Amino acid sequence: MKENSRAIHESAFQRTVLKLVLFAGALCLGGAAIPAGAESLMAGGQQYCLTGGLGLDGYDPVAFFPDGGGRPVKGSPTFSFEFDGVPYRFATQDDLDLFKERPARYLPQYGGWCSYSIALRMGMKGKPEFFEIRGGKLYLFGGSSMQGMWLMDWQSFVQKADANWSVLAEN
């Protein structure tokens, strides 16, 4: 019984530490602080990584996917839409319309935080220039080295990141 109590206490402690590491002191690649204008937003039970108050640093979420061109493209203030309290920008009216039809399809995993860092219980900002589409989902990374590490064992990292992210969603 003593061991079970200790395990419960350690689990609660780990969740608390994870939350602190991820969101109170989110770090960029190399250990530098989040750049000026970057912040996190808790909305709809999800923690989003924002820069300048925008989701995906102002990049068009649809553009990452094949139906939007398959590459990161900066969105325009002309084509803006707020979802779950997060403002997104789009490169075209067509992309905006696609997003409005099925926003969850185009949102980055883990709120736009670096997927590899979430798997490692760290909180680094995802950079739109470093991305991967797997299983119809958008994963962002803090840099090319993190993306490379992720790709070496992506299935394992997805499982770890999903488990870590679900702990955050509970609290």
- Three state DSSP letters for 17-84: HHHHHHHHCCECCCCCECCCCEEEEEECCEEEEEECCEEHHHECCHHHCHHHCCCCCECEEEEEEEEC
Instruction: Check pLDDT > 70 for residue 36.
Output: no
The region of weakest confidence among 52-61, 127-136, 141-150, 159-168 is: 159-168
Find where tokens 């690649």 sit: 29
Predicted confidence (pLDDT) at residue 5 exceeds the cutoff of 60:
no
The pLDDT of residue 118 is above 60: yes
Token representation of residue 58: 């102002």
Residue 74 belongs to a domain: no
First to last CA, the chain: 25
Does 79 reside within a domain?
no
Residues spanned by the domain of 20: 2-57+106-170
In a domain, 80, yes or no: no
Q: Is residue 81 part of a domain?
A: no
Q: Is residue 66 part of a domain?
A: no
The model's confidence at residue 45, banded by pLDDT at 50, 70 and 90, is low
Q: Given this model, what pLDDT does residue 48 score?
A: 72
56 compared with 47, residue with greater pLDDT: 56
94 located within any domain: no
Q: What are phi and psi of 128, to 5 degrees?
A: -55, -25
Q: Average the pLDDT over 88-116 and give the result.
A: 95
- Reported as type and span, the H/E element at residue 99 is helix 93-101
pLDDT digits (tens, 9 = 90+) for 59-99: 999 999 998 999 999 999 999 999 988 999 999 999 999 99
Higher confidence at residue 47 or residue 98?
Answer: 98
Residue type, 29: L
> Is 97 a domain residue?
no
What does pLDDT average to over the chain?
Answer: 79
Any domain includes 89: no
**Domain tally, the chain:** 1
